[in-house]
Amino acid sequence: MKYLITIIGPTAIGKTALSIQIAKHYNCEIVSCDSRQFFKEMTIGTAVPNNAELAAAKHHFIQNKSIFENYTVGDYEKEAIATLDALFLENDYVVLVGGSGLYVNAVLKGFDEFPAIENSVRENVTANYEKLGINYLQQQLQQLDPEYYKTLSQDNPQTLLNPQRMMRFIEVCIGSGKPYSSFLNQKQHSRNFTPILIGLEAERSVLYNRINQRVDIMMNSGLLHEAKKLYPNKSLNALQTVGYRELFDYFDGQLKLDFAIEEIKKNTRRFAKRQLTWFKRDENTKWFNFETPYQEVFEYINTKTQIT
């Protein structure tokens, strides 16, 4: 049997540290599914593993792409599965770690398949967006797929502000004549591994305090300088993310720096709450307090793999 030990949970909870301990214990490698850590131009604001952590266990999909590449969750699924297939030839265990629920699902269950869309539809949606803005996209999705719009509003409102994702939803609705959500979760892809899902959590006040501290550390480590270098490319899809967007608003003169930092903390806390909502849906996940001794986690994994 091949086992994919999958570490999930909200940002700043300690997933990286646990994944490294598991990788060392089972002498295996780590595959990242954190969509913010793929990009080599983004380091501080995405909290990528530091050099010591990268040296402690071999990692895949860390800063392996450029923000200038058009990299989708579908692309990631294909590359991640190919990587896992190769790793499982050498080892019965691989660790998957990250807080991007969509990317975790792509690996564990497979990415949904959508119909081909005519270029004319795509061009028309793009033209309308450029003329009417994000509000047009939101209104269209609410009209064409009200259930999916409601789901995003409740669980992932940040997506409603992402024009690339929103245009894709609307293209599928218009091009297929069916709601985008009708194509979701239709097909279960076969996998040659058994997932073992482990979630990390903490009391909300503790988690929020860890998030606030992490943002302060990022700022002290040079996040403002990193964001300044990325600012000329602020419209790129990869940069539509918490920690950068607020500082871009500061550079635009829309926010004072102190307020921008507080906005990063607030929006990161909201993001963490949405992550937990997403991950808590899976009843197969075993949840541990983030301070649980590593040995207890190892013992749980052993019970799932029949190791004595």
Residue 47 annotated in ligand binding: no
SS3 assignment, position 35: coil
Residue 243 annotated in ligand binding: no
Please enumerate in sequence order all residues whose Cβ is within 8 A of that of 40, keeping only pairs 6 or more positions apart, or say none: 63, 64, 65, 66
SS3 assignment, position 196: strand
Q: How far apart are CA 42 and CA 17, in angstroms?
A: 20
Residue 273 annotated in ligand binding: no
Give the helix ranges, DSSP H, for 183-256: 204-220, 223-230, 245-251
Residue 67 annotated in ligand binding: no
Comparing CA positions, the residue from 196, 198, 199, 195 lying closest to residue 81 is: 195
Q: How far apart are CA 210 and CA 205, in angstroms?
A: 9
Comparing CA positions, the residue from 90, 117, 109 lying closest to residue 6 is: 109
Encoding tokens for residue 111? 């990415």
Residue 11 annotated in ligand binding: yes
Residue 9 annotated in ligand binding: yes
Which residues belong to the annotated binding site for ATP? 9-16
Which residues belong to the annotated binding site? 9-16
Which residues belong to the annotated binding site for substrate? 11-16
